Amino acid sequence: MSDAAPATPENPKPGIRHVRLVIALAVASLLGTFAVYTAFADSSIPVLGVAQASTGYDGQKVRLEGKVTETSGDAADPHGMRFILQDNEHAATMPVEYHGAVPDAYRVGRAIVIDGTFKNGVFTAIPDTLVTKCPSKYQDKATTSTSSGSS
């Protein structure tokens, strides 16, 4: 800085205008990254209840929520595990085919979340996507947590 007089906000030096421009560009590029990613990357999947899933989502990857009403087979078995999922609010049910890891808390009556596709009346789950919702015993009754395997 050759002159000792400090630049005032009203009369910024050329160098300072330059700084402002670069900062504005940095903010814009962050927002741009964000906007472009959310607009173009197929990053989200619909979360559906059992009743919703059977209408108009054939062949599309969705996340299904519901309560397990009966379960048979073993997910560790080549034939996999089969269970019936019931809508949390309606009576609608859906058969599910699943392979892979079964969370500790899984059992009949438990609310679960699972990813997969619905086709010809059966929901084929993606392996290892079965997640149980927090059991209500250590939660407020009104609040079922979305806690996944990690918490």
Partner 1 sequence: MIAALVLGLIALAVVIGVAWPLVRPASAGDQLDPFTEGQRRRLALREERDLALGALKELEVDHATHHIGDEDYAELVADYRARAAEAIRKLDAEIPPVG
Partner 2 sequence: MALIGQGALILALLLAIYAAAGGLFAGLGRDRRFLTSARNALWAILALVVIADAIFLYAIFTHDFSFKVVADTTSRSLPAGYMFTAWWGSQAGSLLLWVTILGAFSLLALRATRRALGELQPWLIMVLALIGAFFLVLLVVPASPFVTQLAPADGLGLNPSLQNPYMAIHPPALYLGYVGLAIPFALAMAAMIAGRTDARWLVASRRWTLASWGFLGIGMLLGSHWAYTEVGWGGFWAWDPVENAALMPWLVATAFLHSVMVQERKGMLKVWNICLISGAFALSIFGTFLTRSGILSSIHAFVSTNIGWYFVFALAAVLGGAFGLILWRLPLLKADQRIESLVSREATFLFNNLLLVGLAFAVLWGVIFPLLTEAVGSVRETVSTPFYVFFVVAFGIPLLFLMGVGPLIAWRRASLKQLRRSFLWPVVAGLIAGGVMIGFGLDSSWPGVAAGSVCAFVTVTILSEFVRGAAARRSIHGENWLVALLHLIGRNRRRYGGYIVHLGVILFVIGAIGSSAYETRAEGLLKPGQSLTVGSNVLTFSGVEKTRGPNYVERAAVLNVTSDGSSLGTLKPAKRAYIREQTTSNEVAIRTTMTAGDLFIILDGIRGDGAVQIKAFYKPVVGLLWIAGFFFVGGVILCVWPDEREARRILRRYAEEPLPGES
| Binding-site ranges for partner 1 (CB under 8 A) | 1-2, 4, 6
Least separation, in Å, of the C-beta of 2 and partner 1?
7
- Pairwise CA distance, residues 134 & 112, whole Å: 9
Contact 19, 13 (CB under 8 A): no
- Residue 38 Cβ, how far from partner 2 at the closest point, in Å? 8
Identity of the residue, 7 or 102, whose beta carbon is nearer to partner 1 in the bound complex: 7
140, two tokens: 């407020």
DSSP single-letter state for residue 55? T
Q: Which of 137, 128, 79, 136 is nearest to 100 (CA)?
A: 128
Amino acid at site 12: P
Written as one letter, the residue type at 106 is Y
Site string for partner 2, 85-124 (x = CB under 8 A): ---------------xxx-xx-x-----------------
Q: Which is nearer to partner 1, 7 or 105 (CB)?
A: 7
Q: Which of 102, 96, 107 is nearest to 48 (CA)?
A: 96
Which residues of this protein are in contact with partner 2, per CB under 8 A?
1, 6-7, 9, 12, 15-16, 18-19, 22-23, 26-27, 30, 33-34, 37-38, 41, 43-48, 52, 63, 74-78, 100-102, 104-105, 107, 128, 133-135, 137-140, 142-151
